[in-house]
């Protein structure tokens, strides 16, 4: 359940450029080319603040970025350095690449990089009260503090709610196994993506609302559709963020943005209805779930730095959206990699049999003895970098990174993919090799795991990363314990991805076979 960095990101703007900007430009070029060309000539005469590629009038560098901008950013860094400037529309963007520059920015200068740009699309998220998409301020710091303390209360080692939450995840994982086996009846192959998304959504809904939904529940399916549409639009914002004049006349970009706003309103309305139910039955003596906990602090607490009850819905909206998207993306990649590399799956089966055995399901207490499973998880996060580029940052003051000055209020893209594939930090980064995370004794090497960047760093680091890791570990361990997953014989599954809010694998199909006696767990709510 990765919260604030949602962290993902930056991709929808490129998809819109690739699929929709050309018709929009045809319609607008006659009206705007002369103006843009004049500005372009003026900018050529001015000294560039930072190195970077040549930018064309009107479109800037957008057409260069392609379908995988994170790899384009890394390639440009080889020519222009780890800190360089591109142009999207009429907006100058600084792109940070590589472990050294990004850690310098997000850790050594965490406050200076804690802002968010004032994108129009960001204002539409969470009723304008989203912690993820609002900029750095005293109010934002209070908002984040409340969200952090709430998550900590549900994930601390001595928390009863933590134990209940873990039990809920194991139950969801056991149901997921049952569904996989049903879909595999008669040797059938199926795409696991939808079922993995439902399972991840049930886990975060149980945490936030104290309720799970059936896999075919109509209300739930509608919610998942809205989140999916959101993920296809947000990221580095919409084209209207960098070319606001596109709102002025009919064109495909404006249509996409209008749909984006509609999806946000509908999703936020769903969240409001659930929080309203909680307010009507709220008991300060009994905290049923995270919605209750947030209501108790924001709605009824003191010293809130101007936070209003609307910020409660904004916080819950952040948790649901982020927790669903990142966990389901991670599980989709891990399932694919298990069937693509059967020798790794066999090693994990053997380990699970040795540590857990056939009479019970795995739990968090087994984690220390399942180092290779954790190594597989970390290598999946590194290799796929399924949150390749963070939600855009914005500098809160002038700052210098890698010897280059970045002015205040500059939009900044953080290329996490470049950190996870930095050849200065990783041997053969293009190879999938979980053993790189194990030391000579076969234990998980914490120094190496700390190099992986998937939940960002600094003041915008995902506050739910530990909860997300618990979810991923339990879902995956139960699936491996119970099932043997296989691809079609002779099929070579692609490792290419779809660029959205998070990177997702292309459609693929698997079949599941029960490894032994199926163990079931009674469903429970948090």
SS3 62: helix
Lookup: tokens for 47: 């000294």
Query: What pLDDT is attached to residue 251?
Result: 78
> What is the spatial distance between Cα 280 and Cα 17, in angstroms, rounded to a whole number?
45
> What is the spatial distance between Cα 74 and Cα 63, in angstroms, rounded to a whole number?
16
> What is the spatial distance between Cα 155 and Cα 161, in angstroms, rounded to a whole number?
7
Lookup: tokens for 338: 């298990």
CA–CA distance from 122 to each of 166, 241, 249, 326, 482 (Å)?
A: 33, 9, 21, 19, 42
Angle at 131 between CA 285 and CA 117, to 5 degrees: 170
Query: What pLDDT is attached to residue 159?
Result: 72
Q: Model confidence over 348-406: pLDDT tens digits?
A: 999 999 999 999 999 999 999 999 999 999 999 999 999 999 999 999 999 999 999 99
CATH number at residue 267: 1.10.630.10
Residue 445 domain-assigned?
yes
- For 290, the domain range is 12-514
Lookup: tokens for 465: 């990363």
Q: Which of 323, 401, 385, 470 is nearest to 6 (CA)?
A: 323
Q: Model confidence over 415-432: pLDDT tens digits?
A: 999 999 999 999 999 999
Contact 456/10 with Cβ under 8 angstroms?
no
Contact 436/376 with Cβ under 8 angstroms?
no
HEC string of 295-350? HHHHHCCCCCCCCCCHHHHHHHHHHHHHHHHHHHHHHHHHHHHHHHCHHHHHHHHH
SS3 11: coil
Query: What pLDDT is attached to residue 242?
Result: 81
Residue 414 domain-assigned?
yes
Q: Chain centroid to CA 431: how far?
A: 23
Annotated binding-site residue? 205: no
Work out whether the CA dihedral 290, 291, 295, 296 comes out positive or negative.
Answer: negative
Q: Strand 411-414 vs strand 91-96: parallel, antiparallel, or unpaired?
A: parallel
Query: What pLDDT is attached to residue 20?
Result: 46
Strand arrangement of the beta sheet that strand 83-88 belongs to? 83-88, 91-96, 411-414, 393-394
> What is the spatial distance between Cα 432 and Cα 427, in angstroms, rounded to a whole number?
11
Which parts of the chain sit beneath pLDDT 70? Answer: 1-48, 157, 226-238, 301-303, 521-526
Residue 524 domain-assigned?
no
> What is the spatial distance between Cα 393 and Cα 387, in angstroms, rounded to a whole number?
15
Task: Indicate left, alpha or beta for 58 from its phi (over 0: left) and psi (-120 to 50: alpha).
Answer: left
Give the Cβ contact number of residue 31 at 10 Å.
12
Residue 523 domain-assigned?
no
H/E segment holding residue 198: helix 193-209
Using only C-alpha atoms, what is the Rg of the chain? 23
**Maximum CA pair distance of the chain?**
74
Give the Cβ contact number of residue 97 at 10 Å.
27
> What is the spatial distance between Cα 50 and Cα 404, in angstroms, rounded to a whole number?
7
Lookup: tokens for 42: 């003026």
SS3 288: coil
Residue 503 domain-assigned?
yes
Q: What is the pTM of this model?
A: 0.88
Beta bridge partners of 483: 514
> What is the spatial distance between Cα 32 and Cα 54, in angstroms, rounded to a whole number?
20
The number of domains in the chain is 1
Contact 504/498 with Cβ under 8 angstroms?
yes
Residue 6 domain-assigned?
no
Query: What pLDDT is attached to residue 234?
Result: 54
Work out whether the CA dihedral 77, 80, 82, 84 comes out positive or negative.
Answer: negative
Contact 97/69 with Cβ under 8 angstroms?
no
Query: What pLDDT is attached to residue 233?
Result: 57
Query: What pLDDT is attached to residue 321?
Result: 78
């Amino acid at each position: 359940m990765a919260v604030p960095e949602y962290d993902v990101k930056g991709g929808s703007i490129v998809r819109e450029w690739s699929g929709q900007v050309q018709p929009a430009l045809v319609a607008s070029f006659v009206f705007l080319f002369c103006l843009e060309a004049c500005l372009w000539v003026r900018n050529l005469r001015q000294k560039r603040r930072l190195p970077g590629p040549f930018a064309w009038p009107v479109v800037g560098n957008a057409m260069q970025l392609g379908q995988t901008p994170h790899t384009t950013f890394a390639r440009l860094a080889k020519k222009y350095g780890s800190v360089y400037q591109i142009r999207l529309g009429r907006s100058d963007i600084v792109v940070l690449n590589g472990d050294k520059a990004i850690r310098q920015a997000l850790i050594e200068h965490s406050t200076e990089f804690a802002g968010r740009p004032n994108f129009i699309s960001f204002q539409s998220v969470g009723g304008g009260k989203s912690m993820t998409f609002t900029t750095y301020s005293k109010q934002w710091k209070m908002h984040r503090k409340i969200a952090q303390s709430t998550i900590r209360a549900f994930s601390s080692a001595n928390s009863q709610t933590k134990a209940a939450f873990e039990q809920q995840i194991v139950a969801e994982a056991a149901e997921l196994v049952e569904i996989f086996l049903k879909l595999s009846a008669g040797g059938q192959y199926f795409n696991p993506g939808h079922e993995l998304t439902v399972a991840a959504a049930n886990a975060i809904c149980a945490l936030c609302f104290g309720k799970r939904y059936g896999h075919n529940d109509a209300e739930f399916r509608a919610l998942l559709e809205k989140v999916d549409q959101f993920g296809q639009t947000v990221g580095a914002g919409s084209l209207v963020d960098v070319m606001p004049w596109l709102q002025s006349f009919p064109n495909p970009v404006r249509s996409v943005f209008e749909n984006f706003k509609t999806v946000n309103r509908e999703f936020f309305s769903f969240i409001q209805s659930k929080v309203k139910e909680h307010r009507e039955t709220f008991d300060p003596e009994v905290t049923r779930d995270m919605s209750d906990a947030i209501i108790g602090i924001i709605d009824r607490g003191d010293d809130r730095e101007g936070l209003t009850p609307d910020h409660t819905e904004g916080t819950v909206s952040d948790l649901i959206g982020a927790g669903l998207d990142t966990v389901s993306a991670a599980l989709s990649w891990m399932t694919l990699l298990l069937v693509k590399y059967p020798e790794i799956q066999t090693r994990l089966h053997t380990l699970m049999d040795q540590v857990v055995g056939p009479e019970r399901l795995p739990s968090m207490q087994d984690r220390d003895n399942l180092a290779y499973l954790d190594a597989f998880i970390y290598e999946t996060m590194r290799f796929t970098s399924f949150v390749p580029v963070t939600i855009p940052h914005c500098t809160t003051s002038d700052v210098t990174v890698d010897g280059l000055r970045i002015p205040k209020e500059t939009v900044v893209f953080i290329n996490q993919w470049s950190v996870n594939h930095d050849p200065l930090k990783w041997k053969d980064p293009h190879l999938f090799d979980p053993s790189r995370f194990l030391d000579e004794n076969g234990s998980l090497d914490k120094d190496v795991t700390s190099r992986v960047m998937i939940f960002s760093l600094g003041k915008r680091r995902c506050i739910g990363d530990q909860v997300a890791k618990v979810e991923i570990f339990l879902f995956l361990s139960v699936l491996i314990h119970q099932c043997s997953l296989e691809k079609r014989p002779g099929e070579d599954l692609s490792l290419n991805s779809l660029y959205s809010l998070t990177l997702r694998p292309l459609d693929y199909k698997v079949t599941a076979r029960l490894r032994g006696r199926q163990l079931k767990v009674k469903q429970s709510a948090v």
